[in-house]
A and B are shown apart, each in its own frame.
Chain A
Amino acid sequence: NAGVTQTPKFQVLKTGQSMTLQCAQDMNHNSMYWYRQDPGMGLRLIYYSASEGTTDKGEVPNGYNVSRLNKREFSLRLESAAPSQTSVYFCASREGDRWGGTDTQYFGPGTRLTVL
């Protein structure tokens, strides 16, 4: 099992460019999450998906969109990148759905994004 995989590992964008971060999990988990990690801030939730076909906003959703393509894949899109979106982005998955299940989340290796 690969667990949670993310692509790309690194990306540099110019202000105003768009891109999509990809995430996939092979654990048959129901819930998936996108977090961003900034120095001295811990991790903050951007969006989550508690089941295939549903998505909900987290703490810091502005400037982002997500798609739960199928049960395995959950992508994060930046339509018009800004320097404030320079961060490390982590995807995570959890076995349970919005009605319950274990609450342990498993994380991918991260994507380091720089917006110039």
Chain B
Amino acid sequence: GNSVTQMEGPVTLSEEAFLTINCTYTATGYPSLFWYVQYPGEGLQLLLKATKADDKGSNKGFEATYRKETTSFHLEKGSVQVSDSAVYFCALSRSGAGSYQLTFGKGTKLSVIP
């Protein structure tokens, strides 16, 4: 079956540090890959996505590249801010039985300190 593995948290960084959150996946075929972000007390918001191999998704300074050869979709940001403190979820979408359901990783909590 489909699965997503992302690095365990929590991750604590100082402001302006470089961020990497690792994500690898197992799936048949060619899934779409996503990063969602959840700020405290809120629902999930789409951060970025990529739909095919070598695509790079980007938004708000965050980037992730769809690497089929390593089945990975690592999230990166060059300089984090306190406002980036949140839980980040990696996910994949496959059209099994027409559901297009999302399979999520367990989430990585990021705390950025001034």
Contacts and interface: CB of A to CB of B under 8 A. Distances in A.
Contacts of B4: 42
A105 B98 contact: no
Contacts of B51: 103
Nearest to A90: B43
Interface string A81-98: 000000000101010111
Chain B residues touching A, range: 20 to 34
A105 B43 CA distance: 12
B58 to A, nearest CB: 15
Q: How large is the interface on A (under 10, 10 to 19, 20 to 34, 35 or more residues)?
A: 20 to 34
B102 A98 contact: no
B10 to A, nearest CB: 12
Given A94-B100, A103-B32, A109 B46 contact: no
Chain A interface secondary structure, helix, strand, loop or mixed? strand
B97 A56 contact: yes
A31 interface: yes
Nearest to B89: A42
Interface string A41-78: 11111001010000010100000000000000000000
Interface of A: 4, 31, 33, 35, 40-45, 48, 50, 56, 58, 90, 92, 94, 96-100, 103-110
A56 B89 CA distance: 24
B43 A58 contact: no
B95 interface: yes
Interface centre among A56, A98, A103, A105 (most CB of B within 10 A): A103
7 contacts: A31-B100, A42-B4, A58-B99, A98-B97, A99-B98, A105-B93, A107-B44
A98 to B, nearest CB: 3
Interface string B59-85: 000000000000000000000000000
B99 A98 contact: yes
Closest 3 pairs between A and B when the two form their complex, measured CB to CB: A98-B98, A42-B104, A103-B93
